[in-house]
Chains A and B, each alone.
Chain A
Amino acid sequence: MNTSASNRYASIDLDVLGQAVADLEETLNGLHQWLPGLERDFAYFGVDTASLNRLGAAKRELDSVVPDLRERHRRAEILLVHQSNYRLHGEDGVVHFTGDLIDGNGHVSHQIHDQTSRPPGEVNQWWTGLGDDEKNYLTEYHPYLLGRLDGVPVSFRDQANRAVLAHEIERLRHELSRLINPPGLDTPLYFDGRPVPPTDPMAHLPRLQEASRLGQRLPGLLAIQERLERTDPPAYLIDFSTQGLGRTVISIGNPDEADNVGTYVPGTGSQLDERINTDIRRADIMFDDAHDAAKSSSTAVIMWLGYNAPQDVILDVQNPSHTAWSPSRAESAAPNLRRFQETLRVTHIEGNSHNTLLGHSYGTTVIGHAAKEGDIHVDNLVFIASPGVGVNHVSDLGVDAGHVFATTAHGDPILFTPDRILGTQPSSNRFGLHTIDGTIGPTYFRSNPGGHSSYWDNGNKARNNFAYIITGQYGFVR
């Protein structure tokens, strides 16, 4: 164990500490086993007990120290597993941290690991009971865990995830550099814009493919960081991960404080790369439009890419679940989306906000699968260019049918999707929506003719309708 100048542990070698604890426990067991007999014998024979007293003092000291060390070892093991999951340490089995695992605020390091499997309401109760120092400690020293912990207020998750984002950008740059310029290679050639060894490039294909993947991901991370740096209006990074296709949940405005909260779920093709910029921009657009439509109420709009979206509309017979022709990605995402909406209810500071879930394309399929399983904790559902939402009628969704809205543009090729693939399209009469003529009900509203991604274009009347629904001005939807 290394200690810092302030006598706080800076790192623990798990193997060394584990062996030390085992040896000390063996010693302590020996003392417990032999000392009582020795004490009787010494007293019986009248032997000087000075040495025996020192052994007694050592036993008492070890009685205190060994459980402490054992607990430190146990907590360090938990931290090591956590850090391994996020690739935050090397292969040496040494866990690094600042502070103390037991004393001071370090005890919450242990507590936070117990929260990850609890419901958002219970997490929020735990969080509310912490002191400011403890909250700041967790934000600073456990950003990876805190950033994804449903039930923690958005402002703290944002702080934690900003740190995670900065770390991931650095890690990605370092990894990219290592892949492009591995040590020991001679003067590189250039292939696909990236340097490669001059001989046998095929042998390095996996490395180049990984470099290409990271090279596409980095602009996505930088786009998020760039948006977070702008403060008019402020953005909050509610969830973030680079695992798999990546996970990004970013809000324009603080949903914990807003009167109205819209959650936008993007569809096929979205992932943590440069395309994230368009999805974030759509949230910005809806934020501004809501402000234009209802200036006196505050609104936050969240871009929720908390799932692995299908990446292609072309049917992959070998891997059908990877494409937009399968509901499997939506089924996997549904519990996460439901839990996130429950979290918004839990962390809102004063009563309930007016919450709307908007999905585009396959995002509507995700919403439908989440809604059909029960309470999804929202006031409205909006299906934009939906290929099907996993149910065949609006009454099968767990939301009052009067608060279900949909639109699909004339000319949008999504209309060709057969009902048998993902369910009846909300644009179909069979789904149970109707166009409104002054009445409010399950509503099929208007958008301008256009392609599958035209709904946020300038002048598209769908944008006004999104704003009216998000701000609860249903009477103006048309």
Chain B
Amino acid sequence: MRHFIGAVSAAVAFALTGCTGTEDSFMTEAEALERAEQHIADAVAQIIPAPSVEPRRRLDIPCRDQAGRDDGLYQVERRYWLHDLPVEDNRQTFDTLYAYWTDTGYEIVDDIRDRAQARALTAHSDGFTVHLLESVEGELSIRATSPCIRTSESPSDT
């Protein structure tokens, strides 16, 4: 029993180390934000009629090192509401972005278009993740997130 527990705890401790995010140590914070904005702008440009966009707060996500602890890097994120879109056109908007992202080399990592409400579509490209979401009320939001990079929040010695 003791050997078994020891072996399992060692396996768990070892396996817990494998949970780090994608890292891009050469991208600056400004570049990451610019590219996140560009992913969103490219997507929004496909939507007809053009929506008005309302920026949301920026919420960066801490990345983890090999031991599962914060490594001082962050995934930076930009997030917007998309206003002035008819709710009945939402399915078409999702189909449009699915086609656009597929045609331009994005990898579709989550596709929940086949329901009447609360649809979601997630695509991945060059370490960036772009996510289109429909609220239960029919409002659309879009967010783009960078790989793990050093930001102004990062400690100076990381």
- Residues in A lying within 8 Å of B, measured CB to CB: 232-233, 269, 274-275, 277-278, 281, 284-285, 288, 292-296, 313-315, 317, 325, 411, 413-414, 416-418, 421, 448, 450-454, 456-459, 461, 464, 468, 471, 473, 476, 478
Knowing A296-B137, A478-B112, say if A413 contacts B122 (CB, 8 Å). Answer: no
B4 proximity list for chain A (CB < 8 A): 418
Question: How far does the alpha carbon of A285 sit from the alpha carbon of B77 in the complex, in Å?
Answer: 11
- The reply to whether the CB of B129 lies closer than 8 angstroms to some CB of chain A is yes
Residue of A nearest to B67 (CB): A269
Knowing A293-B135, A416-B12, say if A458 contacts B61 (CB, 8 Å). Answer: yes
Taking a contact as CB atoms under 8 Å apart, the answer to whether A325 and B5 are in contact is yes
A452 proximity list for chain B (CB < 8 A): 15-16, 19, 68
Taking a contact as CB atoms under 8 Å apart, the answer to whether B6 and A315 are in contact is yes
Knowing A292-B133, A413-B12, say if A459 contacts B124 (CB, 8 Å). Answer: yes
- The reply to whether the CB of B109 lies closer than 8 angstroms to some CB of chain A is yes
Taking a contact as CB atoms under 8 Å apart, the answer to whether B62 and A413 are in contact is no
- Residues in B lying within 8 Å of A, measured CB to CB: 2, 4-6, 8-16, 18-21, 56-57, 59, 61-62, 64, 68-70, 75, 77, 79, 109-110, 112, 115, 117-118, 120, 122, 124, 129, 131, 133, 135-137, 139, 141, 143, 145
Taking a contact as CB atoms under 8 Å apart, the answer to whether A476 and B136 are in contact is yes
Q: How far is the CB of B1 from chain A (nearest CB, A)?
A: 9
14 A-B pairs within 8 Å (CB atoms) are namely A278-B70, A288-B57, A292-B135, A293-B133, A293-B136, A296-B137, A413-B12, A416-B11, A421-B5, A452-B16, A457-B75, A458-B143, A473-B118, A478-B112
Taking a contact as CB atoms under 8 Å apart, the answer to whether A451 and B19 are in contact is yes
In terms of DSSP, what is the predominant structure of the interface of chain B?
A: mixed
Q: Which of A275, A281, A451, A471 sits near B18, CB closer than 8 Å?
A: A451
Question: How far does the alpha carbon of A314 sit from the alpha carbon of B79 in the complex, in Å?
Answer: 39
Taking a contact as CB atoms under 8 Å apart, the answer to whether A288 and B59 are in contact is yes
Taking a contact as CB atoms under 8 Å apart, the answer to whether B16 and A451 are in contact is yes
Knowing A293-B135, A476-B136, say if A314 contacts B13 (CB, 8 Å). Answer: yes
Question: How far does the alpha carbon of A285 sit from the alpha carbon of B145 in the complex, in Å?
Answer: 13
A459 proximity list for chain B (CB < 8 A): 109-110, 122, 124, 129, 131, 145
Taking a contact as CB atoms under 8 Å apart, the answer to whether A313 and B13 are in contact is yes
Taking a contact as CB atoms under 8 Å apart, the answer to whether A458 and B75 are in contact is yes
Taking a contact as CB atoms under 8 Å apart, the answer to whether A458 and B62 are in contact is no
A421 proximity list for chain B (CB < 8 A): 5
Taking a contact as CB atoms under 8 Å apart, the answer to whether B12 and A275 are in contact is no
Knowing A451-B16, A459-B110, say if A325 contacts B70 (CB, 8 Å). Answer: no
B69 proximity list for chain A (CB < 8 A): 269, 275
Taking a contact as CB atoms under 8 Å apart, the answer to whether B62 and A281 are in contact is yes
Knowing A277-B70, A314-B13, A476-B136, say if A461 contacts B118 (CB, 8 Å). Answer: no
Q: How far is the CB of B22 from chain A (nearest CB, A)?
A: 10
Residue of A nearest to B69 (CB): A275
Q: Which of A284, A325, A448, A453 has the most CB of B within 10 A?
A: A453
Q: Which of B9, B62, B77, B109 sits near A313, CB closer than 8 Å?
A: B9
